[in-house]
Amino acid sequence: MAEGQWHNPIQLVAPETNHRVLWGGQTQAIHRLILGYDPQLYQILESQQIDQNQINSIRAEIQKIQTPLIHPSMPVQDAINVADFLVDITKRYVALLPGANTVGGDTDIATVTKHENFKWIRRKHYYSPHLNTRDTDHAT
């Protein structure tokens, strides 16, 4: 390629590939943020004896308000930032709820990519750096 010329981007993932945020554990904050409702919503609707067809209709309408935080061409750094944000918002949300604080502490972040495989982005160390000699110079 001559200087000043460029090639079109190469699409590595098929367009029909499902790209989405997956989460587990203490899910309420992320569920509310991304999906727009509390995870107990449908149980409440069922407990009020609302017809299942109406609940399905409500579910379809609610899907229209979901927050699209990720997309297939998102840079890795943006994906890292989204993951860090979602963990942080969960920690802060749970800290304000009554009862025991079940989420907290430092957050370890790693990426898995086609070209770099597994790579630590941020990790805590329990031992001094001379005992952590395996490719940890890029992690803070």
Tokens 């203490």, located at residue: 26
In this prediction, residue 28 carries a pLDDT of 92
Tell me if 33 is assigned to some domain: yes
> What total number of domains does the chain contain?
1
Amino acid identity of residue 65, one-letter, is: I
In this prediction, residue 74 carries a pLDDT of 86
Under a CB-based contact definition with an 8 Å cutoff, are residues 118 and 137 in contact?
Answer: no
In this prediction, residue 7 carries a pLDDT of 78
Tell me if 51 is assigned to some domain: yes
Low-confidence spans in the chain with pLDDT less than 50: 140
Tell me if 96 is assigned to some domain: yes
Tell me if 116 is assigned to some domain: no
Q: Where are the beta strands (DSSP E) in the chain?
A: 109-113, 117-122
Q: Coil, strand or helix: which one is 53? A: helix
Strand-pairing partners, residue 109, are: 122
Tell me if 112 is assigned to some domain: no
Under a CB-based contact definition with an 8 Å cutoff, are residues 121 and 111 in contact?
Answer: yes
Tell me if 42 is assigned to some domain: yes
Tell me if 62 is assigned to some domain: yes
Tell me if 89 is assigned to some domain: yes
Backbone angles phi, psi at 93, to 5 degrees: -65, -50
Q: What is the domain extent for residue 81?
A: 28-107
In this prediction, residue 70 carries a pLDDT of 85
Under a CB-based contact definition with an 8 Å cutoff, are residues 43 and 55 in contact?
Answer: no
pTM above 0.85, yes or no: no
Under a CB-based contact definition with an 8 Å cutoff, are residues 55 and 46 in contact?
Answer: yes
In this prediction, residue 131 carries a pLDDT of 65
